[in-house]
Structure 1
Amino acid sequence: MARKAYSRRARVTGTLMLLVALGAAGCTGDPAAEDSPDAKPAGGEATTARAEPGKYQTLPQPCRAVETGTLDAMLPGLAQLDQEQRQKAYEGTSSVTYDSDRRTGCRWKVDSADAGHLLRIDFERVVSYSASVSDDARAQAVYGDRMKEAELPLPSDPREEQPERRADDSAKADRDEARATAPADDEAGQGASPETSEKPGKGKEKEAGKSEEPADETVDPSAPAEGLEPRLLRELADDAFIDDQLTTSSSGSGQRTVTVVFRTSNVIVTVEYEVQPKQVAEVPDSASMQEKARELAGLLAERLSDV
């Protein structure tokens, strides 16, 4: 009997020890698991921040992006076509691209008795594949490359002038100030120093002689008029510039190409307008072409806002 009682007490004691061990294991966490860098915060969301995606995820249909009234104004040869030919010309020709979600384009080419006109538009949706670079930032870099390719004569920052230029301007200012504060010579030449005394009329003769010399100025006939040179367009989209190039043939006629490039968010739009006169020694009007190209660019920017 004593042996059986001892055996029962041993089994009970062992069971109690097992239950205590299991309870301790359930109440105690794993410190290593809690301190692990892979442990998710409360809510289960990752804390890694990703750059913002671009505003635009699609592109408009380019051959439907230009109204017929705008095409009539930019392609005057349309009025000389019959109704069937005109309707086909309005449809344009789509550019060949590998991914229409990333790039699309369209072109319209119409010849008339006076000139050939070509209009081309291009939409490019820029996507950044870097988690730390947004689509907008990537698009801005691509736009910057387009500006470099155009080689625009942008206005310089006065803070970036060469030290030699600043020194020359400073010396000139000092000389002008010395002349302004020097006492005026009377008719007899009193008060003039020996170094600066001159015979009456001598200085005027020099100035007159200088003014009679022919001006050595070379005017580039291919350059647009003042105010129409390639430049930035501050009022269009996020960034924009206009370029104007004239290619003159041996006969004197010129083919002018006006290009407007603008960026809105992560989309870059290009408008290219080209005119080739058929008359000898005729040059397309820069002002008229630029006005039409800029108006179309503004309409396309508004159309993008509806996408």
Structure 2
Amino acid sequence: MAYVPGVALLAAFAVGCSAGADSDANGADSKAGSPTVTPAPPGKYLTLPAPCRAVPRATLKDLLPGAAELPGDQQEKVFRGSAAVTYDTDRKVGCSWKSDAPNATRSLAIDFERVVSYDPAVSDDDRADTVYAKKEKAAGLSSSVTPGPDAEKSSGTPDGKDEKGEKQEKEEEGAGKSEDPAGDDDATASAGPSSSGDTGGSGGSSGSPEDALPSRVLDGLGDAAFLQDLPTRAGSTAQRHTVSVVFRTSNVVVTVRYAEQPALITQAPDGRELQEKAQALARKLAEALSE
């Protein structure tokens, strides 16, 4: 009987150790309520279309009048287009076309940019939204789009960009550098009189009443879109008129530039026609991307 208490003590000790082992094994008590980090979803698009095959031949004939009357080999050269030189074709591609007719020269250029976010807390779509918003702001338009979360991350710098954002912008600029023979006048013309914040239906972007269609935000094109009207710069003898349509769909930003320069300086391009055709092409490209 002297050994009974000792046996009971050993049994109690064994039960206590077993309970503690079970509690440590499942780990539920120590980790309950721990937050889980869910990475932001990737963008819809993982690849980009072949830009020089993105515009149907029938559409090119309409946008480049006079090209269809050229001899066979010259016609094929015009419709084949010229691919933009880029450093990363997974991130940005483009193509341009140019047609010289007796009464005018017309040029067309399209660019596709696939935006990728390297921040796990920011989705590709949100990053693309920020890229698009900057283009809209550069066009002098009031943004109707709320910039993505990455635009709100600030490290105290004047423009609100953190170190990671600046690094990614530099990488995107490097990936997107291209040589665009059709857009030679567009960059300087963007600072012209049409780059105003007027998105209403009045006010002219060129001297002719029939061309009184200002730069504006567009509805029903992709997730967000705007049109920038770039008439001839003041003091220039050339009557070149360029229209740019930029839109975003998911994590891809597309730019369409369509321009006309009449053979005679006394003739003015039809800005309304340029805008209508540029918008029509942009909608076709948006539909093709969504298929």
The TM-score bracket by the shorter chain reads 0.5 to 0.7
Structure-2 separation of matches of 1:65 and 1:79: 19
Tell me the distance in 1 between the aligned counterparts of 2:209 and 2:89. 36
Could you say which residue in structure 2 is the equivalent of 1:118?
A: 107
Q: Distance in 2 between matches of 1:134 and 1:86?
A: 43
User: Which residue does 2:232 correspond to in 1?
Assistant: 247
Are the structure 2 counterparts of residues 154 and 269 from structure 1 closer, same or farther at C-alpha, using a change threshold of 3 Å? closer
Q: Using the TM superposition, name which of 253-262 and 22-31 deviates more.
A: 22-31
Q: 1:224 to 1:261 in 2, by over 3 A?
A: farther
**Match status 1:68 vs 2:57:** yes
What is residue 278 of structure 1 aligned with on the other side? 263
Contact preservation (8 Å) 2:204, 2:212: no
Q: In the alignment, residue 245 of structure 1 is paired with which amino acid? A: L
Percent sequence identity is 46
Alignment-derived partner of residue 82 in structure 1 = 71
Give the CA deviation at 1:249: 7.6
* 1:296 partner SS: helix
Cα distance change of structure 1 residues 133 and 225 upon mapping to structure 2, 3 Å threshold: farther
1:287 aligns with 2:276: no
- For 1:184-238, what per-residue CA distance to the aligned partner results, in whole angstroms no more than 9, with x for missing partners? xxxxxxxxxxxxxxxxxxxxxxxxxxxxxxxxxx988547757611111112111
- Asked if 1 retains the 8 angstrom alpha-carbon contact of 2:211 and 2:271, the reply is no
SS of the equivalent of 1:29 reads: helix
Q: Does 1:97 align with 2:86?
A: yes
Query: Aligned in 2, Cα 1:126/1:223: closer, same or farther, shift over 3 Å?
Result: farther
Shift of 1:280: 2.3
Structure 1: 5+ residue stretches without partners: 1-16, 156-217
Given that 1:51 and 1:133 are in contact with CA atoms closer than 8 Å, whether structure 2 keeps it comes out as yes
For residues 292 and 126 of structure 1, the distance between their equivalents in structure 2, rounded to whole angstroms, comes to 26
1:300 CA displacement: 0.2
- Call closer, same or farther: CA 1:53–1:94 in 2, change over 3 Å: same
Give the distance between the partners of 1:51 and 1:273, measured in 2 at CA. 36
Task: Please give the TM-score of this superposition, normalised by the length of structure 2.
Answer: 0.67
Report the 3-state secondary structure (helix = DSSP H, G, I; strand = E; otherwise coil) of the residue aligned with 2:117.
Answer: coil
Equivalent of 1:29, from 13, 21, 43?
A: 21
Aligned partners of 1:153, 1:52: CA distance in 2, in Å? 28
Q: Tell me the secondary structure at the aligned position of residue 47 of structure 2.
A: coil
Structure 1 residue 49 displacement after superposition: 1.2
Change (3 A) 1:80 1:249: farther
Work out whether 1:145 is the aligned partner of 2:134: yes
What is aligned with 2:246?
A: 261
Shift of the alpha carbon at 1:256?
A: 0.3
Deviations 1:227-262 (CA, angstroms, capped at 9, x unpaired): 611111112111111111112586754100000001
For 2:219, the equivalent position in structure 1 comes to 234
Residue 131 (structure 1) shift: 1.6
Match status 1:133 vs 2:119: no
1:287 to 1:130, Cα distance in 2 relative to 1, 3 A: same
Root-mean-square deviation (CA, aligned residues, Å) is: 3.5
**Larger CA Rg, structure 1 vs 2:** 1
CA contact (8 A) 1:256 1:276 kept: yes
Aligned counterparts of 1:266 and 1:112: Cα–Cα separation in 2? 37
One-letter amino acid of the counterpart of residue 235, structure 1 = G
State which drifts further: 63-72 or 81-90.
Answer: 81-90
Q: Deviations over 1:42-100 (max 9, x none)?
A: xxxx9321212111111111111000111111111312311111112211111111221
Distance (Å, rounded) in 2 between the aligned partners of 1:24 and 1:153: 70
Distance (whole Å) between structure 2 residues aligned to residue 63 and residue 221 of structure 1: 31
Is residue 246–residue 253 contact of structure 2 (8 Å, CA) maintained in 1?
Answer: yes
Please say if residues 133 and 143 of structure 2, whose CA atoms lie closer than 8 Å, have aligned partners that are also in contact. Answer: no
Structure 2 residues not aligned, in runs of 5+? 1-8, 145-202
* Equivalent pair of 2:205/2:211 in contact (CA under 8 Å): no
CA offsets, 1:127-158, max 9 Å, x none?
A: 11112211111111111100111113789xxx
- CA offsets, 1:254-290, max 9 Å, x none? 1000000011111111000011111121111001111
